Structure 1
Amino acid sequence: MGLPAVAPVLRRRLPRLKPFNRLQVIVEHLSMSKTTASSSEVLLEKKGCAGVITMNRPKALNALNISMIRQMYPQLKKWEKDPDTFLIIIKGAGDKAFCAGGDIKAIAEAGRAGEGMPQYFFREEYALNNAIGTCPKPYVALIDGITMGGGVGVSVHGHFRVATEKTVFAMPETAIGLFPDVGGGYFLPRLSGKLGYFLAMTGFRLKGKDVHKAGIATHFIEAEKMAALEKDLTELKSPSKENVADILDSYHKKCQVDQEKEFVLGEHMDKINSLFSANSMEEIVQNLKKDGSPFALKQLETITKMSPTSLKMTLRQLREGASLSLQDVFTMEYRLSQACMRGHDFYEGVRAVIIDKDQSPKWKPAVLEEVTDEYLDSCFKSLGSGDLKL
């Protein structure tokens, strides 16, 4: 589900995209903004042949709230049926973010108070993600800037994802007692080798061309060409998916940025594929310890800070999701979301990382060995009439 808005000091750093550590990425991803919404927070426009969605909360890094979701879903379904709408484009306002996530602080507060938001937010967010994944018309996400959590959900399931040198991708949910949802159980295990497992466990940040090299983005262009690309797409006459692909391909091929750059994880992929291929989190941790290389020990240090429950839940989510349909993955993830709402670690993670900012959550259980298979089974169990229906 992903999360927004950010401490001002971090926000000032973003335009320069200077390196910052993973904990800062997590704070960036999870810090919260006001939950009130208005129609101006998402712009829904017809431009030429295209329906254009603009997430319009630049000060909150275009974080998704329930009002935005409730405007986007019916408009998407309407454009699907409109004979004069041939493609759909989604983008974020401002120059910092596509979408940094969703309104997790409000969900935590509602969950503590016994209110209904934890049920309907995830239900409606996943329905929107599924509508994007099943949209019959070309769907183009212009993922320029920060793209995390909820921003991944409204981009990765569409036909095309266009990254730039300013794109920053991460799924750091295990750091706050959640799991990489919004269909993470579908797309992450389908990345090359065990790359998706690595990204899910560690919250590792991919930047710029690496988002394309990882197989998350379908195209890569200069950020300054985004406006021209959008104009060319909207000016197409009755375009097919192939026509849209041709335009995107032409921009991608002309892009000179980071042409010679090697994939940031390229030299480590053999290790990632080996170390993260174990059948249990305990084995993955043992693999990292046994390997002992600087890379392995760095990942071990990161993983030991994450919620043990979230790590085990995530590993099973990805292993099961690898052979499920997108719709079945969302059904599974909805069950997991509700299990997190019933548990301890999500509320503790939000407290530590977002509210108190002491960044030292006290997880329960505190170690992997104490997260039992019986507990995990209960998290994946059907909710009966409460299950997500798509």
Structure 2
Amino acid sequence: MTSPLIPQLQSEGQILAEVNGCLGLITLNRPQALNALSLAMIRDLTALLKAWAAEPAIQAVAILGQGREGKPAAFCAGGDIRFFHQAALAGDTALEDFFTEEYALNHLIHRFPKPYIALMDGVVMGGGMGISQGARLRVLTEHSKLAMPETNIGLFPDVGGGFFLGQCPGHTGEWLALTGHPIAAGDAIEMGLGDVYVQSSVLPELIQALRQGPQTSAEHVVATVMERVDLAPTPDHRELRQQIDRHFGAASVEAIMASLAADDSEWARHALATLRKRSPLMMAVTLEQVRRARTLSLADDLRMERDLVHRCFHLRPGAASETVEGIRALAVDKDHAPRWNPSRIEDVTPEMVAAFFQSPWSAQDHPLSDLA
């Protein structure tokens, strides 16, 4: 639908935009890739949100993911990791642009001056969390599956992950960051990563009402959602909170793993087995990231994460990068046998971790220096 309120978009249909009354509606339209974000999509989202923030006729924004007929739902499965792999090996500067522009978009969403509503049906991972956690209203269904699984590819939970995971109760943020464990609606709401629950059977009617019903004010848009809200399911991990806090509150990754090893419960064995598959170096970086982020503003956290992601691809360039190796094993060769370096948590030194946190830029030259 063309409208003078919609700027020219560049992503060749990967982002769909429409206006209904005072509502701007965005659909992530890359369903075959679970709506994973490309650089063109990030640029279109940024252009739309900046235009709509300044447009008095637009009073609220809603965002959803395009579904696939007969397939499970996906809001957004993250960033395009195959692009990361190709760009890193080719020395393509578009990789740097991707992270700078993605993190600036995350900040824009958190600071958006009008109600921004994320319909987080299905898979919401990585970059999908980045474009939903800043929403004024985060809507979940029984199919919602939230995770920050970056340690699985030798990365860290970026897109503001330090900021929003650091705000989770107790040490659940460390648990989610290190393991990448997915959580459902009940846990997400209890941990502060979601707001309301709507049954998926009601979602088509809700989307239809947003798309075609009379939307005359921001209050009416929000009411359209809230009148369909239901009681959220019981959290799956409520009974495990004491265990999570005890183990994941330990001083280091090595201490967390030792603590889990001393616990004979099935949950602890599973958590330890998960950690043993991750990059020891990037787990240590991730733990430091989440704990530093607890004392940082969102803007300062995103600047720190921009430093970290630069180091992920440049401290050891090309195939020597833990991230490039992790993506290779998961998504390129698919052998699921990453060759981490070092291979043992005992061999990760404080100096190795500290190198990731040294910014390659001065404060005024930082690519995210203008974030307020």
Q: Does 1:90 align with 2:67?
A: no
- Change in 2 beyond 3 A, CA 1:313/1:59: same
Q: How does 1:264-343 map to 2 (within 5 A)?
A: 264-342=236-314, 343=316
The one of 23, 34, 42 equivalent to 1:61 is: 34
How high is the TM-score relative to the length of structure 2?
Answer: 0.89
Among 29, 45, 48, the residue aligned to 1:72: 45
Q: How does 1:1-390 map to 2 (within 5 A)?
A: 38-95=11-68, 96-233=73-210, 235-240=214-219, 244-252=221-229, 255=230, 261-342=233-314, 343=316, 344-384=321-361, 385-389=365-369, 390=371
- Take 1:184 and 1:216, find their aligned partners in 2: how far apart are those partners? 11
Q: Distance in 1 between matches of 2:138 and 2:322?
A: 33
Q: TM-score scaled to structure 1, two decimals?
A: 0.85
Tell me how far apart the structure 2 counterparts of residues 112 and 196 of structure 1 sit (CA, whole Å): 32
C-alpha distance in structure 2 between counterparts of 1:142 and 1:270, whole Å: 31
**Using a 3 Å threshold, how does the CA distance of structure 1 residues 246 and 238 change in structure 2: closer, same or farther?**
closer
Note closer, same or farther for the CA distance 1:128–1:340 as it changes in structure 2 (3 Å cut).
same
Distance 1:143 1:336 in 2: 27
Deviation at 1:273, TM superposition (A): 0.9
Mapped to 2, the partners of 1:184 and 1:199 lie a distance apart of 10
1:382 deviation in Å?
A: 1.8
Which deviations, in whole Å up to 9, do the C-alpha atoms of 1:22-55 show, x marking residues without a partner?
xxxxxxxxxxxxxxx8421101211221111110
Deviations 1:332-390 (A, max 9, x none): 00111011112321111111111111101110011112222112222111222244322
- Aligned partners of 2:149 and 2:177 also within 8 Å: yes
Aligned-partner Cα distance in 2 for 1:154–1:191: 18
Asked if 2 retains the 8 angstrom alpha-carbon contact of 1:51 and 1:89, the reply is: yes
Q: Greater CA deviation, 92-101 or 305-314?
A: 92-101
The gaps in structure 1 that reach 5 residues or longer are 1-36
8 Å CA contact 1:107–1:117 kept in 2: the answer is no
Equivalent residues of 1:88, 1:139 under 8 A apart: yes
* Contact 1:118 1:338 (8 Å CA) reproduced: no
2: distance between equivalents of 1:148 and 1:239? 28
1:88·1:140 contact (CA, 8 Å) conserved in 2?
A: yes
State the match for 2:3 in structure 1. none
Contact 1:163 1:220 in 2 (8 A): yes
Equivalent residues of 2:34, 2:74 under 8 A apart: yes
Structure 2 unaligned segments of length 5 or more: list them: 1-9
Q: Distance in 2 between matches of 1:158 and 1:329?
A: 18
- CA offset at residue 207 of structure 1? 2.5
Q: How many residues align?
A: 347
Cα displacement string for residues 106-156 of structure 1 (whole angstroms, at most 9, x for unaligned residues): 122111122212211100111111110110100000011111111111101
Check the 8 A contact 1:62/1:99 in 2, yes or no. yes
Q: Partner letter of residue 125 of structure 1?
A: E
Return 224-233 or 272-281, whichever deviates more: 224-233
Separation of aligned partners in 2, 1:313 and 1:157: 24
Would you say the 8 A contact 1:54–1:93 is kept in 2?
yes
Q: Secondary structure at the match of 1:44?
A: strand
For 1:239 and 1:88, locate their aligned partners in 2 and report how far apart those are by CA, in whole Å.
9
Name the aligned partner's letter for residue 80 of structure 1.
A
SS in structure 1 at match of 2:138: strand
Give, in whole Å, the separation in 1 of the partners of 2:334 and 2:105.
Answer: 31
Partner of 1:45, secondary structure, is: strand
- Three-state SS of the structure 1 residue aligned to 2:277 is coil
Aligned alpha-carbon RMSD (Å): 1.7
How far is the alpha carbon of 1:196 from its aligned partner?
1.5
Would you tell me which structure has more helix in proportion to its own residues?
A: 1
